[in-house]
Chains A and B, each alone.
Chain A
Amino acid sequence: MSRWTKFLIAVILGAVGGLFYGWVVNPVEYVDIAPESLRVDYKTDYVLMVAESYQVDHDLGLAVRRLALLGSSAPADIVANALSYALQHEYASQDLSLLQSLGEALLTWNPNQEIPTP
């Protein structure tokens, strides 16, 4: 076996060790994540909370600002995704109604009037 072959094997073994250490033993830890990184069920519940809150304050701008924390998608799309997940997982009818109500309200929301500020 040539010296170069041995050298490359050493590099590969080292890389494998480095990847194992970086991905398994001591991976990058995200302890300060944003709501955007929440799992889909938590995101759906977050949207549901926004919908419940909207029933109290009827502040569409506030609802949009809260939804903006879940990503750069349009607020109506975020609610639609949540509603889709809720339908798939058979959420209670009251919850579905709340999500639908918020989604319909967002269809009338004009982003030129209020700019989301996450």
Chain B
Amino acid sequence: MKQDRRGSWYLLTGAVLGVAFGLFYSWVISPVKYVDAPPYALRADYKDDYRALVASAYLYSGDLLRAQDRLAQLKDDETAQALAMQAQRALAEGSPEEEVRALGILAMALGGGVTPDNSSITPTQAATYIPPTSAFTPTPLLIEPAAGPTMTLQTSPTPLITENIPESTTNYQPVRTETPTPTLGAPFILQETQLVCNINQVEPLIQLEIKDAAGQPVPSVEVVVTWDGGEDHFFTGLKPELSLGYADFVMTPKVVYSVHLADGGQAVGDLTAAECVADDDSRYWGSWFLTFVQP
């Protein structure tokens, strides 16, 4: 009689206790361990370390295929953009210049550009990307970039299997292929200078976009802007959300500026803040947009 009054609740109690024990054991005492994890499972800061290491190793080998394969293990959506953004963060955080330079060079190589010989890096002010609309006076200028990376070695690494993280089933093993001929970058020329009128842009800017022969934006190109009594350096690609080949500089009205790429070439001079006229006859500052291309 006494047992009948209790019913079968004891079974449910036992099952609940068992489930609780099982979860405690599997989540706390002996959780699944990822001892054979791939790089994409790395924490964000370790991924940054990994990218920096890939870039640094690339400086030694000049092996773009190997660098691409290594970066592919991180499964970034946009590899070149991830590198450029990391370079931007590294600049802001005061990371070693060599690291920033390596990241920039690899980002540029992945973007299909040439390798710049960057020696000093200074970030620029924030700005808004304004697509050029009105043509000004195109004046072809010849600007010599540095030589591209020496492609001497290539690899074809392949990844291994992991029990808990789905992955391919072969070993990740680098294989080298000799590629002896250095690649020199063609010179950049100034294709176009435009005055851009955008009433939403409060400050007058010097905006640049640098493209390679394939029309792809080229990051990490050092640009030098000079004026009477001053000079500043900045790099393309530090605003990857706009374009990897984009850079800008805020002008002070009535100051005359000259712009050239750090690797040499003729300067674009006599750039001053110019006014635009709105529909209601009010005036506002326009921006100069310079486009450099590889022929």
Contacts and interface: CB of A to CB of B under 8 A. Distances in A.
Interface of A: 3, 6-23, 27-28, 30-35, 37-42, 44-46, 48-50, 52-53, 55-57, 66, 69, 89-92, 94-95
B84 to A, nearest CB: 20
Interface string B7-29: 00011111111111111111100
A3 B11 CA distance: 9
A52 B56 contact: yes
Contacts of B171: 41, 89
B165 to A, nearest CB: 9
B39 A38 contact: yes
Contact of B61 (A23, A37, A50, A52): A52
Contacts of A48: 57, 174
Given A16-B22, A23-B32, 6 more contacts: A10-B15, A18-B18, A40-B160, A49-B53, A52-B60, A69-B49
A45 B141 CA distance: 44
A11 B41 CA distance: 36
Contact of B14 (A8, A16, A46, A92): A8
B18 to A, nearest CB: 2
A69 B49 CA distance: 10
A92 to B, nearest CB: 4
B224 interface: no
Contact size range, B: 35 or more
A11 B43 CA distance: 38
Contact of B39 (A18, A42, A92): A42
A30 B33 CA distance: 8
B60 A14 contact: no
A31 B13 CA distance: 35
A12 B32 CA distance: 21
Interface of A is mostly: helix
A44 B12 CA distance: 51
A3 to B, nearest CB: 6
Interface string B131-146: 0000000000000000
Contacts of A23: 26, 32
B162 interface: yes
A10 B14 contact: yes
A7 B10 contact: yes
A16 B54 contact: no
A91 B174 contact: yes
B26 A27 contact: yes
A34 B46 contact: yes
A8 B160 CA distance: 43
Contacts of B268: none
B252 interface: no
16 contacts: A6-B10, A10-B10, A11-B17, A19-B23, A19-B25, A22-B27, A28-B26, A30-B37, A35-B42, A38-B36, A45-B172, A57-B98, A66-B49, A91-B173, A91-B174, A92-B174
